[in-house]
Amino acid sequence: DYHQKVHVILDGAGYHRSLLVKDWAEVVNIKLHYLPPYSPNLNPIERMWKLMNEHARNNRYFSNSREFRDAISEFFSHTLPEIVGSLTSRINDNFQVLKSVS
């Protein structure tokens, strides 16, 4: 029995838009809101992936999957705690309104 509506914000991935997800959300009283396509600035996890790429794998060659996993683990266990304060400076609301093409 679900009385209070829950709002969930999702990106436009196909599996988020599947009929199964939409039907289930309706049954459990969840309102799905989709981010516009190509809008990584609205999705905080995209900033995290970008930061991880910059620190853990940018311009690096990994000879095996173990080296890759170690680099990612190093980022989350050591690098991220050191730079966490800089994350707020990466969040901004500098959006540009585009003119309609029609």
87-97 pLDDT, tens per residue?
Answer: 777 666 666 67
CB 31 within 8 A of CB 2: no
> Which residue did the predictor score with more confidence, 2 or 16?
16
Given a cut of 70, whether residue 9 has pLDDT beyond it is yes
Query: What is the chain's mean pLDDT, rounded?
Result: 85
22-51 pLDDT, tens per residue?
Answer: 999 999 999 999 988 877 777 777 778 888
> Which residue did the predictor score with more confidence, 79 or 3?
79
Nearest in space to 11 (alpha carbons), one of 41, 33, 30: 33
